[in-house]
Structure 1
């Protein structure tokens, strides 16, 4: 089953402007399916190469000749992280024949892990991130609870077979730990990588303490920082940074740590159904991770996203900013009857935000619990923030 993605029109627009467009995101998030689904809408004939296949990899043994022979086509290079030496050649080929829509690059890692410096294709390429299925994309096929439980990877999420979902995540992690991470240059055993991921799963939603991780893993703190950088750059974890500009208080300045996909989070914690998650200590942090990923997916082009916490107890889960100025505060609660807290009220006072929300699982219609805080669902929150004008 193919699920239309909201990023589709943006990709087509960028292809009309830039010689190259890179679609980046976690492995198996749907990049290949999306690119292939748009081929009929491209202004050029396309040529698809999967660089994980030896037969396709051989075609770029002499890349300059291959690109020159296909200069009038849009060349889709999948799993581009397997051939980073192509990037300087792409620059030369683009400069020789600079027209929009020549290349689409699909990759499972951030550009800096692909050894692609900002200068290599600067001005020639537009980067876009494809996240997992969000609530708007998934709504016709799965409900909110199922999306939260199964995560945003299309294949397991759209399957009704719990055993298949379990096997899918098992295979995903095997490929990630044994092939993807070593390929990108992190030389650690798959067992250690998996152990670190399980520790992160148990720490989801908490402020990062690298020294604690280093002690538990018997590694140097600098090595742990490098591991986290790789996990972040392969779109597996999110390090949600704190907001501390222009606030004259003692603030927490370490990021909060999340497994981005809640399906992967639940697999790592051996949570198999909704009853299991409702009785698990991770419940609140899992719901928080889910809401954060939805907001990041649907509003990332509109707002900056941070959290806020002071040493004296003021806190909010998400601060959305415009031009680095706080404009929205969000508290995330897994409850049907939320109450405003002193810590959230103090955060609102510190940040001077007029738009403040508590997001809960279900809400018939948004309502206020005081003059400054609105209770709503994630669907209602997205709808309201998309209408905001600043």
Structure 2
């Protein structure tokens, strides 16, 4: 049975980009729905060229100019990371017809080589976007692109009909990749095991010369176990018997391929953000649950990994809130030397929006206390706070803090 299509928030950004630039680029992890989305939006107006096809890839490497004659623009160039040199010929075509918009729609699953090619060839000629796996709102069929992320945080993006907590937790367990998220017949453990193995074999070997894939796989499981914690690269390296330099390089691999996000602490001095321990979150909770051996909703609700997985789910929704609207992430966490902490801080100009993740369907005013302490410390700079949880609708917990469902973004 084919996977049902879900409208993506990024769609309006891509349409706008195609009206503004000669090329539009969509990056993101494997299986996040890039090909489906661009074919849905541009399939009737553009030819389609998949560089995942070995024969097409060989022609792109041997004679790029001939390939662009075979697949004449306007064209979708899918999986450009397999033939990055093709971008130089795309540039030549664009420069000959600079006034023509939307001639190339390009997808890629590996950010490092693709962005290197963009910087060298398509600077100022392409809109660059990122597509992660489905947000909770998208998976439930209620994407919202008409409002910006500020309106989404403030509740102006419109209410979501939040399902029962068990259904929401099921969505968190399945993750956002369209096939396991939307097809109830998919074996989650088998799908994510296959995904991780395919990712290891295809992306890791290409992005970095990882000599021992078994070491990298051990690193994946160890990093998953540290989700929502402060991460010391040196401690992680020592536990795995590898160098700190290798750990940093491998985290860069995960970031480049859209698997994790590194969150830095918020400080008034921007320079200090780079010298404190970060947190690392997996961006898809289905993959994270697989790596942590969480197989059912009971484990997700009450197991040792329950809180960290839900916190990762909230982080993932916030990242999608930014990226799927075509904007860079403005997320940090806040922690004092005394141990006071806010899970997430959104920087909105001079305003700071504090956000806590709580795995509960019955939040209380006590859950608002950390946010209220943050608001007291930062005064007028602190905006209205949010406790993201399993409630069905937005409800006030105090004069300055609301509880909101995880799908609100």
TM-score between the two structures when normalised by the length of structure 1: 0.88
Q: Per-residue CA shift, 1:25-77, capped at 9, x if unaligned? A: 110111111111123564xxx22121121222244231123325655x22211
Partner of 1:195: 218
Q: Per-residue CA shift, 1:108-141, capped at 9, x if unaligned? A: 1224565326243110111111111112211149
1:357 aligns with 2:386: yes
Partner of 1:208: 231
Partner of 1:386: none
Q: Could you say if the C-alpha distance between residues 222 and 251 of structure 1 is closer, same or farther in structure 2, counting changes exceeding 3 Å?
A: closer
1:333 aligns with 2:358: yes
Query: Aligned match of 1:156 in 151, 173, 180?
Result: 180
Specify the SS of the correspondent of 2:333.
strand
Partner of 2:33: 30
Partner of 1:385: none
Deviation at 1:228, TM superposition (A): 0.3
Q: Is the 8 A contact 2:28 2:34 kept in 1?
A: yes
Distance, in Å, in 1 between the alignment partners of 2:314 and 2:140 is 15
Specify the SS of the correspondent of 1:116.
helix
CA RMSD, aligned part only?
A: 2.5
Q: Per-residue CA shift, 1:141-164, capped at 9, x if unaligned? A: 9942221110000001112135x2
- Larger mean CA deviation between 326-335 and 135-144 belongs to 135-144
Partner of 1:304: 330
Q: Is the 8 A contact 1:21 1:101 kept in 2?
A: yes
Distance, in Å, in 2 between the alignment partners of 1:180 and 1:117 is 19
Distance, in Å, in 2 between the alignment partners of 1:332 and 1:66 is 49
Deviation at 1:248, TM superposition (A): 12
Distance, in Å, in 2 between the alignment partners of 1:281 and 1:113 is 38
Partner of 2:168: 144
Q: Is the 8 A contact 1:20 1:124 kept in 2?
A: yes
Distance, in Å, in 1 between the alignment partners of 2:29 and 2:267 is 29
Deviation at 1:103, TM superposition (A): 1.1
Q: Could you say if the C-alpha distance between residues 120 and 202 of structure 1 is closer, same or farther in structure 2, counting changes exceeding 3 Å?
A: same
Q: Which has the higher contact order (CA 8 A, sep 6+)?
A: 2
**Count of aligned pairs between the two proteins:** 374
Q: Per-residue CA shift, 1:62-98, capped at 9, x if unaligned? A: 1123325655x22211111111222223222221222
Structure with greater helix share of residues: 2
Partner of 1:388: none
Mark the runs of 5 or more structure 1 residues left unpaired by the alignment. Answer: 383-390
- Larger mean CA deviation between 173-182 and 239-248 belongs to 239-248
Specify the SS of the correspondent of 2:261.
strand
Query: Aligned match of 2:265 in 239, 242, 259?
Result: 242
Deviation at 1:166, TM superposition (A): 1.9
Partner of 1:21: 24
